[in-house]
Amino acid sequence: MLVIKNLKANVEGKEILKGINLEVKAGEIHAIMGPNGSGKSTLANVLTGNENYEVTDGEVLFDGKNLLEMDPETRAREGMFLAFQYPIEIPGVSNATFLKTALNEIRKYKGLEEITPKEFLALIKEKASLLGMDDAMISRYVNVGFSGGEKKRNEILQMLMLEPKFVLLDETDSGLDIDALKIVANGVNIYKNPNTAFLVVTHYQRLLNYIVPDFVHVLYKGRIIKSGTKELALELEDKGYDWLIKEEEMEK
């Protein structure tokens, strides 16, 4: 589903990603871990098309299509979903209106008819109730005055409504408390299915207690220096990153 080949990227003229290779298949959950400043958020930003990040080499194929040529809106219509570290507030636009518009954009792109208001209401109520969200949240302005946990839950509601093929979660440094972590993890576990892939970016192992990854990759200085299964995450929790970094430096 997602194939990243020798991806290099600059931020403000400085090379941050130095040749990333990664393949994520449908149905898989991959975790990207690594010390602070290793380029995890940079990778997430490049994948979602943030224009402050300049790709200098390599390619990314999303379902066989050149992802790097697509603008962020096209990426979303093609089925890529980014859960923001800091979800944006949209005063004056209700959650229902926002989600109906987004959903219809995607349906139109796929050549499907617009969802009827009745179908939409039934769908959003069903998804909100799966997440234990109060119906009142549906008519409130997007994220305005929401608590941290409510914003997280709202983000997950967006994911359940839009049914993306590829979900990118950047939870690094977000200072999520355990309840918010559980909300995110619960949403991922509800949504997890054979047609969808997840890339979970996290500094700490604790999120992976709730979202069990199939593969774990360690990013360091813009390169993946180790890949493994969920046991690697546990080892990192136990021993930190230093031993891996020493191994890496020895090899040079």
Binding site for ligand ADP (CB under 6 A): 11-12, 16, 34, 36-42, 52, 172
Give the one entry of ligand ADP, Mg ion, none that residue 11 binds, where binding means its C-beta sits below a cut-off of 5 to 8 angstroms depending on kind: ligand ADP
Closest approach, Cβ 25 to ligand ADP, in A, equals 24
Closer of 41 and 143 to ligand ADP (Cβ) = 41
Residue nearest to Mg ion (CB): 41
Distance CA 206, CA 213 (A): 12
> In this structure, are residues 245 and 232 in contact, taking their beta carbons and an 8 Å threshold?
no
Q: Which residues pair with 80 in a beta bridge?
A: 166
Containing 94, the helix (H) or strand (E) segment is strand 90-94
Query: Taking the mean position of all CA atoms in its chain, how far away is CA 245?
Result: 26
Find the shortest distance in angstroms from Cβ 53 to ligand ADP.
8
Q: How far is the CB of 237 from ligand ADP (least distance, A)?
A: 17
Tell me, letter by letter, the H, E, C secondary structure of 143-210: CCCCCHHHHHHHHHHHHHHHCCCEEEEECCCCCCCHHHHHHHHHHHHHHCCCCCEEEEECCCHHHHHC
Residue 117 touches which of Mg ion, ligand ADP, none (Cβ within 5-8 Å per kind): none
User: Among ligand ADP, Mg ion, none, what binds residue 12 when CB lies within 5 to 8 Å by partner kind?
Assistant: ligand ADP
Question: Which does residue 38 touch among Mg ion, ligand ADP, none (CB within 5 to 8 A, set by kind)?
Answer: ligand ADP
Task: Tell me which DSSP letter residue 68 carries.
Answer: G
Residue 154 interacting partner from ligand ADP, Mg ion, none (CB closer than 5 to 8 Å by kind): none
CA distances from 89 to 24, 138, 209 (A): 31, 14, 29
Contacting residues toward Mg ion, per CB under 5 A: 36, 40-41, 172-173
* Beta carbon nearer to ligand ADP, 54 or 63: 54
Among 171, 146, 144, CA closest to 83: 171
Minimum separation from the CB atom of position 149 to ligand ADP (A): 23
Closer to Mg ion at the Cβ: 27 or 35?
35
52 interface partner picked from Mg ion, ligand ADP, none, CB below 5 to 8 A per type: ligand ADP
Please state the length of the chain. 252
